[in-house]
Structure 1
Amino acid sequence: MNARVIPDPRKNRRVGLMAAGGALAMLGAGYASVPLYRLFCQVTGYGGTTQRADAAKVAGIKVAGKMIRVRFDANVAPGLPWQFRPEQVTQDMKVGERKLATYYAHNLSGRPVTGTAIFNVSPEQAGRYFNKIQCFCFTEQKLMPGQEVRMPVIYYVDPAILDDPNAKNIEEITLSYTFNETPQSAAAATAKPVQQPMEKPLDRTPARR
């Protein structure tokens, strides 16, 4: 007769703790992957992700002699009741030169709408050299019913692009924005208004004497 094996509760507890720890680690990695991926895109320019320039970086930039053209593109996501367009089709500039471009936005609806812009440039290898000093895409934009605004973007192309064999021959860069409504703004639009309790009509019956 085979002896019955009695499971060790301490061993089972260790296995359970290891499994739980692994699950928590995977969950944490999932949450961390989004900001890590975003940081990777910003550093490498992957997918045409542009850069954000600070004062120290801008101070050391020198204008090169090569000319480059920037083309502007604008889009709105389905369901966003905005008109959105660039106010210039293209700009010709020297590499390293700072430029100002403006975009026009108009809220066509009868409600406040908050949007946020996602952006990229093409060709993709230009992303790591396209720097924005000031941009409406850095923050959310709230437009009141019928409001029209002009939104600036100040940018330059880093002269380091001329040292990159995969990017130095680029003659035109397209800067593209797509506005999406924020989840909070969309939720406010679909929320049902709170019904106020109806006031009782005044009793205008003359008092009896």
Structure 2
Amino acid sequence: MSGREKTPQAKAARNHLVAACAVLAAVAMVGAAYAAVPLYFMFCRATGFAGTTQVATAAPALKGQRVLTVRLDANVAPGLPWSFEAETASVQLRTGATATVYFKVRNRVSRETAATAVYNVSPGVAGAYFDKISCFCFSEQHLGPDETAELPVVFFLDPRLEQDETLNGVQEITLSYTLFAALDSNRPVAAAPGIQNGESQR
């Protein structure tokens, strides 16, 4: 037998080693994929990438100088039997000032259903300066049979927007929502959040 020839036992051991390496590589790839998701969202939150908005607890103390139009867009994905619309098409907002806008939803079927919202801002670069203080997109929304609700969004435009040269020629920003059917619609109905007498401030 040549020195280069391998015994059946050696071949089997080598095959087991290759299989083990393949399994470990697959596990590592899956783990990396799961880790990439929260890292991706953290990156989007930090940079406003892909129109991802920011989260804030309060508006800045000082207002800016620019006044922009914020347009409101509402969409419903296939499979969700809701109607969904903004109560106003747009608002004029000075940077640093807080605005409260409402979206009206209605469950059009005779059973409880639930939805979650996906959102973005365009142009995408504006997401880094679009700060939400309160939003229905932060939690799952439940509506009973034929129930309607007003869902508020409280937000402001960071005055630092004025220092970004890529936004110098931008006069309009669009805040867009799409509602999707939630995976679990069998939990008890939760009251939709509401803010009374919310008005845009300049």
TM-score > 0.5 by shorter chain: yes
Query: How far apart are the structure 2 equivalents of 1:49 and 1:43?
Result: 9
> Are the aligned partners of 1:61 and 1:159 in contact in 2 as well (CA < 8 Å)?
no
Q: 2:40 & 2:98 partners in 1: Cα distance?
A: 28
> How many residues end up aligned between the 2 structures?
183
Instruction: Return the match for 1:26 from 29, 41, 47.
Output: 29
One-letter code aligned to 1:39: M
Counting only pairs closer than 5 Å after superposition, residues 76-91 of structure 1 correspond to structure 2 as 76-91=76-91
Pair member with larger Rg: 1
Q: Counterparts of 1:158-197 in structure 2 under 5 Å? A: 158-185=158-185
1:41 Cα deviation from its structure 2 partner: 1.7
Q: Which residue of 1 aligns with 2:52?
A: 49
Task: Output the amino acid matched with 1:143.
Answer: L
Moved more, 15-24 or 67-76: 15-24
Aligned to 1:203: none
The answer (yes or no) to whether the contact 1:73–1:177 under 8 Å persists in 2 is yes
Q: In the alignment, what sits opposite 1:204? A: none
TM-score (norm 1): 0.80
Structural mapping, 1:96-115, within 5 Å: 96-115=96-115
The CA RMSD over aligned residues, in Å, is 1.9
Aligned to 1:194: none
- After superposition, residues 68-79 of structure 1 pair within 5 angstroms as 68-79=68-79
More moved, 63-72 vs 18-27: 18-27
Q: Which runs of 5+ in 1 are unaligned?
A: 189-209
Structure 1 residues 28 and 61: alpha-carbon distance in aligned structure 2, compared to 1, 3 A threshold: farther
- Under a length normalisation based on structure 2, what TM-score does the superposition of the two structures give? 0.83
8 Å Cα contact 1:61-1:158 kept in structure 2? no
Aligned equivalents of 2:61 and 2:168: distance in 1? Answer: 17
The Cα offsets for residues 142-184 of structure 1, whole Å up to 9 and x where unpaired, read as 0000111011100000111111111233211111111111122
Cα distance in structure 2, aligned partners of 1:76 and 1:2: 71
1:36 pairs with one of 36, 39, 54: 39
Structure 2 residues not aligned, in runs of 5+ = 187-202
**1:198 matched to which residue of 2?**
none
Letter in 1 for 2:24: G
Which stretch shifts more, 22-31 or 34-43?
34-43
